[in-house]
Amino acid sequence: MRSRDGNRNFSLRLCSVIIFSSLTLTASEHLISYKYIVKDATLYNETLLISNAMTKCNGTPQNELILLNKNSKNLKQLIFENSQEFIDYIHKLGLHVEHKETTSNLQNSSTTTLTLKTTCFKVDFNDNFARISPLK
């Protein structure tokens, strides 16, 4: 028969491991991609895709963006509320630019595509702000 003290010690260790893990793993990782298409000087399409990373991303956090947060844990909603600030931030990270221009029958047609390839971001939610930083 086991003593009750042995079970108590095990349960205390298990609780301390769970609490420690929750404190150290508050940051989550998300995959974000962005595409912006301008056709003949008119915005044609803008796409921002966000999903949770299914596996751990490798890399170290780079320059971060801090957004005001109103106790929300939803990254999509937070970025939607601060969309212009976030778009300016990812433009500074560096986007792949592709430009095509054709002239046919004296008609000029151009298409420019700005793309942020799928990048892993570390997101740390706090009570008043969220810290977003790309992993490279």
Residue 121 CB: number of other CB atoms within 10 A? 23
pTM over 0.75: no
Instruction: Specify the 3-state DSSP secondary structure of 76.
Output: helix
Sequence ranges of the domains in the chain: 27-134
Instruction: Specify the 3-state DSSP secondary structure of 42.
Output: strand
Per-residue model confidence (pLDDT) at position 103: 93
Dihedrals φ, ψ of 6, to 5°? -65, -40
Q: Is the pLDDT of residue 72 over 70?
A: yes
Mean pLDDT over the full length of the chain:
83
Burial code (b: 16+ CB inside 10 Å, e: under 16) for 66-102 equals ebebeeeeebeebbeebeeebeebbeeeebeeeeeee
